[in-house]
Chain A
Amino acid sequence: MAPAIEGMVPAIESSEGNNKMNKGYQYPSWKKKLRGLVVDNEELCRIVEKGIMGLCGVETQAVETGEAAMELIASGATFDIIVIDRFLPSMTGPETARKMREMGVESKIIGLFALYFEGDEEEFVAAGVDDFKEKPLSPNWLVPILRELDN
């Protein structure tokens, strides 16, 4: 089955000082060209997360598995921010994050939980993620992180 909406337009680069408006929400634009990677096995989550990152001004790719993410990185792709779901088939989210760090990936890595209970983050944190979040991935939460990356 062809992935739905995977071909959507990447983040629009606007001119300086311009933000994108959408029905009252002001989405940012950045000085740098920010690149992101979403690693999420769930189709709906992956599509929405990629879209939200795009709305927030990040040119984003999305893959379904940790292995696919590692292939991208091994091929030379670099990202400013990587968002990884906790539960991935075969290579888990924390395992993926750990392998990325072992490969020297210095991107901001965010661990994502469909459902978070206190203590769940330990594996992710031990693997070297910078932060973690319970879904959904929201612009309000993402934008301050992107602002830091842009600076």
Chain B
Amino acid sequence: MAGTDLRAQLNNFIKAMHDQGILDEHFEHVKGLQNEYNPYFVLEIVSIFCRDAENVIAEVTKFLDEPVVDYVKTIGLVHQLRGGSSSLGGSRMAIACRELRQATQDNKKEECLQALEKVKREFSTLHEKLNVISQMERTILTNEGSMVQCIPSGSIY
């Protein structure tokens, strides 16, 4: 049956993400929060994550671009970024955030910029994979008879 096939395809895709270290076991717990009362949970969480991470990365970029870097604010943003990525299960991105945090410790701008580039690469990869997961989830939900309209960011029902 088409629905079962697509669900199996999604599970295989997520498994591949695990194997590559892009997602870790925590993503399974996040998926476990989706149920008949919250059928769009994964879609919504992915949407929130991508929106927030993009904004935070942009802010960190701005701070590190300044001639005099405000490391206190930068560190706060990096914490936010790592918190979100680890809470989603985005393992490699969480690791890249830790490396960026480590780089801020010594107030060395060049190291921070390199670490930020790595964060951006990992976010780009994670974002791409999450988009695939989201698309598959939407199709599954549509096939299962749920009305999936365009879900505006920040709203759930």
Contact = CB atoms under 8 A, between A and B. Distances in A.
B29 interface: yes
B11 to A, nearest CB: 9
Contact of B83 (A2, A42, A52): A42
Interface stretch (B72-80, B109-117, B132-140, B141-149): B72-80
B63 interface: no
A114 interface: yes
A59 interface: no
Pairs of residues from A and B, 9 with the lowest C-beta to C-beta distance, nearest first: A114-B83, A51-B33, A114-B79, A22-B32, A1-B154, A4-B156, A45-B87, A48-B87, A9-B37
Contacts of B128: none
Interface in A9-33: 9, 22-23, 25, 27
A115 B83 contact: yes
Interface size classification for chain A: 20 to 34
A137 B89 CA distance: 11
B70 interface: no
B92 interface: no
